[in-house]
Structure 1
């Protein structure tokens, strides 16, 4: 089930499923220590006429966000039970506290009593072993704890000066045939068991009396802290400020934050502009305050592989940081730069992936090859792209004068590694591709190595390190020549996806399959987008990877096996991926010659908006027949790619418009060129 409506503050991340059950709680790192492991934390409503959980079949639910915020706006209606709900959830931007404002409207004409139930099914530190849940009489809260993680669940009705729970229960779950206290709520009477240890859960009750046709408000909140004393301090802060004020200020904070983006969205269709801002906010929920940019936090993927996407891949992080830098969020991406500096290995390369605390993440890349010889278990593009992102980070922010330490501690050793990690052919040595499947020399990788070396040369030039500046640039050009000589097929008139070393022949063998990642050959400036060789490559790629169903979009590569839905590869070469489809749109923008060409690319932006959930959340890939989300959802990389391509669309649209106006008014060529240069610099 896809995750929806993520909310957070960089320390706390909350995810819901498509029926608005709370499914994931991450704290104190985004993407690390999943304290629910995807268990369903339920919200229910008891009425004299019956009971319903939020995912009851009779519940008509519309789950969205407040516009331009990380505060949810969920409307639900149950005709048979006669009530309507407005639920607004947010994580306070300053304190580590989840807030829920519930407005319940009585649809019947006579007064009624409603009981609201908030249930927590925690597995603290990712395990149910040794948890404790108890009712704290001083806080009037349910408290859950294990070691250095404390959680408080509290409720309050409008007009009350403090917490006002009308009932509570703690109990066992998934042991000895017990399912949990949520079942105890369905008769409107919680048992009141004050403490439970082991595999536990807990439910809190809030009673509201509502006149006929009227509405009443209630509040629930969850506090997060490292120990009991800090939890009590947090609870005091919430009660002093009030949950209402905290949610209001959080809504205002995110509106202010998202409007700091420097791009003019007025020329976009409203649905595209809304998705652009929503993408920025969703990306922010994946950004840990200590610098890790986590790929995705959908724990449903655990059922597929017993591992998750809750890691910082340096590649994903670099490209996401680059998109944020282009928006003007340089202060945020400073933390990403610091994270990478601390994570660089002694060899000068980045590892496969990292936990949000900076430790090495899980990996399936071996340290030895089939002969038992040592090899680096890396995807080399991840090292190169971090250098690339760092250069643009300091350049766009205008802070190159502050980059000396980064240059010395990261750029030099990383660039030196890229130079050492080459064969006699001039190409990089084999490493794993960006899809983490094949070991070889890949078009995408060599393009990023070229870009990384040029970025390193720019750093060296700025810091007056003239020898390295020349060395890095000359090596980059040597890589480019090697690509032209060895990774271009003259018969097919296009570039190769990869070269694979064959030890039996002591030579490289060509991989002729088409792969969407080959877009990197132009996107990282290895070749111009209108180079005939690139045009042929992109044309062939589009024909081979287009999904020929009503859903449309582009697959990763021919016969993509990952979450494969159909083996009719002539019609469905693979599932449509958001990023792959947008990469093709980016190339169309790069080669556009007039406003009509630009709008052709815009059709793919509209395609992307149609593949998003109503909330704006975008998955990694979508079902080629139904268009439903597949794999993890949301994927931060999907949102960052959308942000970048929208920026390119805005720039190219303005450029083409200016071209037409200039032609009509016959402005001097110098003025035309100056206008183009200004437009280009604003987006790059």
Structure 2
């Protein structure tokens, strides 16, 4: 994390590696910053603290950091990293591969060290471990285990074994455990900077550890260091994993993990005949990066970058937001990955059958990866009156995505298990949570979690959710419910047009709020989310109301700097430095810009019109980091990523936009061929 020149905190997470149980994130200094285990998004075992590694040679020492020349990338089509780092002063270059084994809870780093001097030199490679097990520095223990030749950190039911080898020989050359962040003691990482560790064998409380490996490297030659962390719930777990590594060798786990991800990302043999090469590469990178934020229990996590807690009232994005997760499940379904969305819908079923959710048929704000209710700032009362602290689009979009899942796979046995308690319960809520007089959904929070009211995006999503419930009812021959949902959807559509489309302004409005005299207070802010009426099926993409709205979005929200992109809405101040406000109404967001691409795709009537979306897809690929990581938003002047990264929602929207493009391209080509044949 660093603070920008205008005081903005700029998060920087790159090259995450994970397997649904263990996730490792790195920062721009190539420090290990987040380690989630045994759930993605829950129990950050570092609590965001830096675990460094550095090099000592010829009496000089340097921690690897942005002061080095570092390049972050992945091995092509894989969740194995390829990071290069060089330090001219030390005369050393590193080539590193990081991975989490696809099946076991092992993090592995393989490091090739190149001696750039014309003489043999002794190098000492130091690795510091700064665990805060169970998210706290209290009551941790770190000790050297001579049986495993490893440092072990533990607390309660969490164990982490750390060891490695140099030039294929296992063992640690130096180690130290010690107290950190207490009475002025900074930790054993400071002890490393003179090239010698104390050898202290055990420490308790707020502790860290450092270990080192020594290699002699010939002139202009290379040495190999391998380092790993085994994660488990007890000593036997980590000991077993360590024995597996020593028995099979790291090459075995590296190769099988690389093979697995290459097979996984290419299983559908998707072809990209008309799209530029960077778009195809970004598509595959997005698939892989999204996977790192998905827990094996089904929760799709918005983001796991812990630095956001420094500005986000000591909280993070490491939750399952039903909206973000539903659109991610939809993208994965379109890409042909049935298992991940299925686990997500099962996860939602577990939520909706307990607590207040089971009584009302709605989803609340956000959830932890174990299904428990996440933290929230949305109150249950306003002006001494009870309100529902919901974003109603979240409930609607779970149904919307579930219908698209079923429509693709027709897995009747799976969906019937959800029909009564998830589909009908949520469908009944959506169809009944309407104002009797207007047919509008009752007020709730908007998708940005900022405004209370009745919003075009929310109303459109509700229409899509009710139509999904209607289709399920029709399929399962629930005639009475089908008619209820059909009538409710018609009321919502009519109300959207009557109350949220402004003929005066020739566009859909962001938000309206009822007032006591029966009228509505209107928010005239141009908001990118008003694209929603076409996307959720209320109107066709070429409907005059949609076209007018999209033109207003483009004219008002396109960032008029060389960076480009669409801002969320007029005068958006979130993480915005206020400069260039005349050219930038806010920071460009990936999701908002990609909504524009989705509209170009949806309205295209020929291939030439379809290609209007090309520049948006290329823009997104260009504005991602070289590794493929997409942030939430970017600086409108520098293009620097801002806020959480990677953001699952950004990658999911990119995936959907590309898949919708390819599907539309196929249909247009088929139409052209049919037309040509009819003219013969």
**Equivalent residues of 1:44, 1:52 under 8 A apart:** yes
Match of 1:675 in 2: none
3-state SS of the aligned residue for 1:440? Answer: strand
The question of 1:135 aligning with 2:144 is answered yes
Match of 1:681 in 2: none
Q: Give, in whole Å, the separation in 2 of the partners of 1:241 and 1:539.
A: 60
Match of 1:678 in 2: none
Cα shift readout 1:251-288 (whole Å, capped 9, x = no counterpart): 11111111124532243222111110000001000000
Cα shift readout 1:369-422 (whole Å, capped 9, x = no counterpart): 12x111110000000000111111122123134311101110011111112211
TM-score of the aligned structures, taking structure 2 as reference length: 0.95
Match of 1:502 in 2: 515
Match of 1:383 in 2: 395
Q: How does 1:33-44 map to 2 (within 5 A)?
A: 33-44=43-54
The question of 1:607 aligning with 2:623 is answered no
Q: How does 1:363-442 map to 2 (within 5 A)?
A: 363-370=376-383, 372-424=384-436, 425-442=438-455
The Cα of 1:122 is off from its aligned counterpart by: 1.1
The Cα of 1:539 is off from its aligned counterpart by: 0.5
Match of 2:6 in 1: none
Q: Give, in whole Å, the separation in 2 of the partners of 1:442 and 1:251.
A: 45
The Cα of 1:579 is off from its aligned counterpart by: 0.3
Q: Give, in whole Å, the separation in 2 of the partners of 1:52 and 1:261.
A: 45
Cα distance, 1:228–1:509 mapped onto 2, change above 3 Å: same
Q: How does 1:75-474 map to 2 (within 5 A)?
A: 75-160=84-169, 163-261=170-268, 263-305=270-312, 306-344=314-352, 345-346=357-358, 347-370=360-383, 372-424=384-436, 425-474=438-487
Cα shift readout 1:340-361 (whole Å, capped 9, x = no counterpart): 0011112110010001111100
**Equivalent residues of 1:622, 1:629 under 8 A apart:** yes
Q: Give, in whole Å, the separation in 2 of the partners of 1:449 and 1:199.
A: 49
The Cα of 1:506 is off from its aligned counterpart by: 4.0
Match of 1:676 in 2: none
Count residues in correspondence.
Answer: 663
Cα distance, 1:39–1:535 mapped onto 2, change above 3 Å: same
Q: Give, in whole Å, the separation in 2 of the partners of 1:235 and 1:21.
A: 23
Cα distance, 1:463–1:659 mapped onto 2, change above 3 Å: closer
Q: Give, in whole Å, the separation in 1 of the partners of 2:271 and 2:531.
A: 27
**Equivalent residues of 1:263, 1:647 under 8 A apart:** no
**Equivalent residues of 2:396, 2:464 under 8 A apart:** yes
**Equivalent residues of 2:525, 2:569 under 8 A apart:** yes
**Equivalent residues of 1:328, 1:397 under 8 A apart:** no
Mean alpha-carbon deviation: is it higher for 403-412 or for 310-319? 403-412
Q: Give, in whole Å, the separation in 1 of the partners of 2:185 and 2:402.
A: 53
**Equivalent residues of 2:177, 2:208 under 8 A apart:** yes
The question of 1:636 aligning with 2:648 is answered yes
3-state SS of the aligned residue for 1:315? Answer: helix
3-state SS of the aligned residue for 1:509? Answer: strand
Cα distance, 1:266–1:202 mapped onto 2, change above 3 Å: farther
Cα distance, 1:230–1:533 mapped onto 2, change above 3 Å: same
Mean alpha-carbon deviation: is it higher for 643-652 or for 338-347? 643-652
**Equivalent residues of 2:150, 2:171 under 8 A apart:** no
**Equivalent residues of 2:507, 2:546 under 8 A apart:** yes
**Equivalent residues of 1:286, 1:295 under 8 A apart:** yes
**Equivalent residues of 1:155, 1:204 under 8 A apart:** no
3-state SS of the aligned residue for 2:61? Answer: strand
Q: Give, in whole Å, the separation in 1 of the partners of 2:484 and 2:302.
A: 34
**Equivalent residues of 2:22, 2:39 under 8 A apart:** yes
**Equivalent residues of 1:262, 1:328 under 8 A apart:** no
Q: Give, in whole Å, the separation in 1 of the partners of 2:292 and 2:131.
A: 21
Structure 2, gaps ≥5 residues long: 2-11
The Cα of 1:666 is off from its aligned counterpart by: 4.4
**Equivalent residues of 2:507, 2:545 under 8 A apart:** yes
The question of 1:597 aligning with 2:606 is answered no
Cα distance, 1:463–1:103 mapped onto 2, change above 3 Å: same
Q: Give the one of 470, 494, 509 matched to 1:481.
A: 494
Match of 2:5 in 1: none
3-state SS of the aligned residue for 1:24? Answer: strand
3-state SS of the aligned residue for 1:604? Answer: helix
**Equivalent residues of 1:295, 1:310 under 8 A apart:** yes
**Equivalent residues of 1:559, 1:567 under 8 A apart:** no
3-state SS of the aligned residue for 2:70? Answer: strand
The Cα of 1:42 is off from its aligned counterpart by: 0.3
The Cα of 1:664 is off from its aligned counterpart by: 4.9
Match of 1:516 in 2: 528
Cα shift readout 1:506-565 (whole Å, capped 9, x = no counterpart): 432222221111111100001110001110011111111111111111111111121122
Q: Give, in whole Å, the separation in 2 of the partners of 1:482 and 1:289.
A: 41
3-state SS of the aligned residue for 1:125? Answer: helix
